Chain A
Amino acid sequence: KQEVTQIPAALSVPEGENLVLNCSFTDSAIYNLQWFRQDPGKGLTSLLLIQSSQREQTSGRLNASLDKSSGRSTLYIAASQPGDSATYLCAVELNFGNEKLTFGTGTRLTIIP
C-alpha cells in the first residue's frame, strides 16, 4: 500500500527566505506526483505536476523535483512571501491499476512578515 509522508507538519520562516518542503513515498512505481496548495477552509489548487519520466517542473518561484528511486520529492519556494502561507500537499498516482491519488498529510507553511 502506497504511503505518502510530509515532514515537517508545520514550518515558519521569515519573509524573503528560500525554503524546501519534503514529500516521501513508499512505492516508487508512480505514474506522477502532484503538489497542491490549500488555504484554510478552501479547496486545493494544483501547483505542479511531475510525470514519472521527469526530474523537475518549474512555475514562477516554485520548483518541484522528483527522485523516484529514492521515493522523494521536494518543493522549493524562492523568495518567500506572506501570500505563500498555506498548507502544501503532495499526492502520488500509482503506475498500474490504481487510478487514484494518495495524499500526504501536508505541511502548514507560515511566512513571517
Chain B
Amino acid sequence: DGGITQSPKYLFRKEGQNVTLSCEQNLNHDAMYWYRQDPGQGLRLIYYSQIVNDFQKGDIAEGYSVSREKKESFPLTVTSAQKNPTAFYLCASSMNLRGTDYGYTFGSGTRLTVV
C-alpha cells in the first residue's frame, strides 16, 4: 500500500530538548510538506520541499528545521527555540508542488507534548 508514514504517533519532550519527527512516503511524490494543527485553528504550513536537497520556509518556520536528503523522507526537527511546540503535526505529499491535479496525501500525524 502506498502512503505516508509518520512516527512516532505520540511524543513527549522536555523543555530545552530538540526532537525529530519522522515522515516517510512511498508514493514517489516530489513535494512534501509539514503542517502544524492547534485546537480551533486551521493547519499552518511550517516547511515544504519540492525536490531533494531543497526546501522552503512556510508561514511559521521559526524554531523548526528540516532536511530532504532522500525523495522519500522529510524529517522535521522541533528545536528548543520553538516557544510553544505542543501541537499536532501533519506531514503531506503531492505529485508536484501545487498538488493540483492529483491532490495531497496526508500522514496520520504526530502529537507532540512538552512536559
Contact = CB atoms under 8 A, between A and B. Distances in A.
A: contact size bracket: 20 to 34
Residue among A91, A93, A99 with the highest chain B CB neighbour number at 10 A: A99
A43 B108 contact: yes
B104 A46 contact: yes
Contacts, number: 58
Interface string A70-92: 00000000000000000001010
A44 B93 CA distance: 12
B15 to A, nearest CB: 24
Nearest to B92: A44
Interface residues of B, number: 27
A36 B42 CA distance: 12
B84 interface: no
Nearest to A42: B108
Interface SS of A by simple majority? strand
Contacts of A63: none
B45 A101 contact: yes
Interface string B85-115: 0001010100001111101111111010000
B97 A99 contact: yes
8 contacts: A4-B42, A41-B88, A42-B108, A44-B90, A46-B106, A93-B99, A100-B45, A101-B43
